[in-house]
Amino acid sequence: MKSVCIVGAGTMGAGIAQWFATNGIKTFLTDNNQRVVEAAKQSISNSYQRLVKKNKFTQNQVDQSQANLNYLLAIEDIPKDIDLVIEAIVERLEIKKELFKNLDSHFCPQTIFASNTSGLSIEKIFHDLPNRLSCGLHFFNPAPVMKLVEIIKSKTISDEKLMNLHSFFLSRDKVPVIVKDQAGFICNRVARNFYGESFRILNDDDPYQMNLIDQTLKHVGGFKMGPFELMDLIGVDINLNATKGVYESFGHHPRFAPHSYQVKSVESGRLGRKTNNQGLILGRLDESVSFFNIFVPLKAEDNHPPQIIDYDELSHDYPEDSIVFDKTRFNLEEKKQLITILKERNNKIISEGSHLTKQFTELSKKLNFDVCATNFYSKTNTIEYIQNLDEDAICQAFSNHQDRNVFVRKNHLSLGLIFPRVLIQIIHEANIAFDEDLASKKDIDLAMKYGLNYPHGPFEWEELIGKEIYELLRVNLMNSISKKPNRYSR
Ligand SMILES: NC(=O)c1ccc[n+]([C@@H]2O[C@H](COP(=O)([O-])OP(=O)(O)OC[C@H]3O[C@@H](n4cnc5c(N)ncnc54)[C@H](O)[C@@H]3O)[C@@H](O)[C@H]2O)c1
């Protein structure tokens, strides 16, 4: 590839143009608004100067990159035989269609047209141009930094040409993935239930619970930001629109249903940072209220740590007067019976609860035992733990026993185990998407890691926790809702 034209010089267009110019491609950046073109020129120049200051680029590299950039207003001034045109204008179907119709009459037939749409159908965008080579090229913000590019298939372009684009990006240190033209592509679809499931875990429209979910997903799950703080950052309305778009496209499937708390937040004008810091959490927390969360790091030396006895389904020799780690994978009724027996024998119990639902954590409150989720791995090496016994020494001993950190929550807010539920939904959606031929497992994993900074791809995570655990929890969640097909069904 030698030359590219970017139409739309806003946030994305300017970033995409900067990336191409840096990578030695002759780049034309255009917009129908003169002021935007000038602002883009300034912001790209500032960005390069910051890179020089940080010693990431030499002035010579910057000069070469800048020399590749041409800022224009009129399409007519752009060479007709350019290799690729990328559109990054407003996210409105009719406006994008109109633009491409105009561009079609200017550029030669070999020029590939691509849209950077976040969620519109590529087929619909290019519907009126059946003879034009076209596809989607979905970059992530900030485009010069974020490595992922979703290459979206279309009927008018051969697999060979798409693979050429794939090879081009790969050779320039981007992470390209090939995706079928389906709503949300990979990232915006597979990530939906990072938000959706988090909303469904809530007992109430309560910012403290939202904050707790955020903290757990960061400390235990290893996500850079929690879902609620992320929505407040990006815009609660922007996120809701993405959910609605996918929900519409998938025939109102319950797994994409927008949540009433999010709708309420948007309707009341609480959109996050952009509305004067009023959002789902922003502007609603009283800092003086504590969250009862304790992060227990591994303590290397403890001279007299309480001993913990592992108890699993193979053993029927019930211990007495001990701290017992119940590792059994029974159903709720059987677990209840086992815990009752263990308690009668004067044991203090920590119970593996990752495969059970909210009812189990409710039971833990009633029968007074601790609950943990040791089966769920992430790079944080941290276990989610609900404390009812009120003995910090037990949490510390458990941390040592497991050789992992423990993130403790006192069960004042009767939420279930958070990370297992959210993770199961992400893996679940990835599996459905793969079955529908959306993309390869490898590309789905790459997309979630390089587009959204997830610590693992969903299929890597499925391997780490084990397919059996994933399936066990998914089925338990499915049955806990109803006998009818629901959002956990396959
Ligand atoms: N912002 C993101 O994080 C992000 C990420 C991925 C994809 N996208 C998608 O990229 C596209 C652009 O988003 P953005 O955030 O850069 O928007 P933006 O509002 O910052 O920029 C859009 C630009 O397009 C220009 N424009 C509008 N109509 C035009 C026309 N007919 N001809 C030429 N220029 C025109 C506007 O003047 C504006 O400068 C959208 O489709 C969006 O969904 C955005």
- The answer to whether residue 302 is domain-embedded is yes
Distance in Å, CA 11 to ligand 1 centroid = 7
Distance in Å, CA 138 to ligand 1 centroid = 12
Indicate which atom in ligand 1 lies nearest the CA of residue 14: 16
Q: Which domain holds residue 337?
A: 292-410
Strand arrangement of the beta sheet that strand 293-296 belongs to: 293-296, 405-410, 382-387, 370-373, 348-352, 323-326, 308-311
Q: Are 102 and 76 in contact (CB under 8 A)?
A: no
Catalytic residue among 3, 115, 116, 150: 150
Q: Which of helix, strand or coil describes residue 4?
A: strand
CA distance 285 to 31: 42
Among 342, 375, 410, the domain boundary falls at: 410
Task: Verify that 176 and 303 share a domain, yes or no.
Answer: no
pLDDT at 313: 80
pTM of the complete model beyond 0.75: yes
CATH at residue 23 = 3.40.50.720
Distance in Å, CA 228 to ligand 1 centroid = 25
CA distance 397 to 308: 8
| Identity of residue 235 | G
Q: Which of helix, strand or coil describes residue 407?
A: strand
Task: Verify that 298 and 158 share a domain, yes or no.
Answer: no
| Identity of residue 325 | F
Q: Are 134 and 114 in contact (CB under 8 A)?
A: yes
- The answer to whether residue 198 is domain-embedded is no
CA distance 148 to 145: 9
pLDDT at 302: 63
Q: Are 35 and 62 in contact (CB under 8 A)?
A: no
Distance in Å, CA 331 to ligand 1 centroid = 51
CATH at residue 301 = 3.40.50
Indicate which atom in ligand 1 lies nearest the CA of residue 117: 41
- The answer to whether residue 449 is domain-embedded is no
Give the mutation target among 85, 89, 101, 246 for probing the ligand 1 site: most ligand atoms within 8 A of CB. Answer: 89
pLDDT at 300: 59
CA distance 195 to 415: 16
Give the mutation target among 5, 7, 11, 150 for probing the ligand 1 site: most ligand atoms within 8 A of CB. Answer: 11
Task: Verify that 22 and 144 share a domain, yes or no.
Answer: yes
- The answer to whether residue 31 is domain-embedded is yes
Indicate which atom in ligand 1 lies nearest the CA of residue 87: 11
- Domains in the chain: how many in total? 2
Catalytic residue status for 45: no
Distance in Å, CA 8 to ligand 1 centroid = 6
Q: Which residues pair with 149 in a beta bridge?
A: 139, 176
Distance in Å, CA 50 to ligand 1 centroid = 24
Among 360, 378, 410, the domain boundary falls at: 410
Q: Which residues pair with 386 in a beta bridge?
A: 371, 409
Q: Which of helix, strand or coil describes residue 231?
A: helix
Among 155, 181, 207, the domain boundary falls at: 181
Indicate which atom in ligand 1 lies nearest the CA of residue 139: 6
- The answer to whether residue 400 is domain-embedded is yes
Which positions ≥6 away from 169 have C-beta within 8 Å?
149, 151, 175, 176
Catalytic residue status for 138: yes
Nearest CA to ligand 1 atom 11: 88
Of 419, 448, 421, nearest to 434 (Cα)? 448
Of 2, 29, 4, nearest to 14 (Cα)? 29
Q: Is any atom of ligand 1 closer than 6 Å to the C-beta of 117? A: yes
- The answer to whether residue 347 is domain-embedded is yes
Q: Are 242 and 184 in contact (CB under 8 A)?
A: yes
| Residue 277, burial from CB neighbour count under 10 angstroms (0-12, 13-18, 19+) | exposed
What is residue 284's DSSP assignment?
Answer: T
- The answer to whether residue 420 is domain-embedded is no
- The answer to whether residue 306 is domain-embedded is yes
Per-residue pLDDT of the chain (490 residues; tens, 9 = 90+): 999 999 999 999 999 999 999 999 999 999 999 999 999 999 999 999 999 999 999 999 999 999 999 999 899 999 999 999 999 999 999 999 999 999 999 999 999 999 999 989 999 999 999 999 999 999 999 999 999 999 999 999 999 999 999 999 999 999 999 999 999 999 999 999 999 999 999 999 999 999 999 999 999 999 999 999 999 999 999 999 999 999 999 999 999 999 999 999 999 999 999 999 999 999 998 877 766 677 777 665 666 778 999 999 888 889 999 999 999 999 899 999 999 999 999 999 999 999 888 889 999 999 999 999 999 888 999 999 999 998 989 999 999 999 999 999 987 777 889 999 999 999 999 999 999 999 999 999 999 999 999 999 999 999 999 999 999 999 989 988 888 889 999 8
Task: Verify that 175 and 313 share a domain, yes or no.
Answer: no
CA distance 453 to 351: 32
Which positions ≥6 away from 211 have C-beta within 8 Å?
226, 228, 281, 285, 291
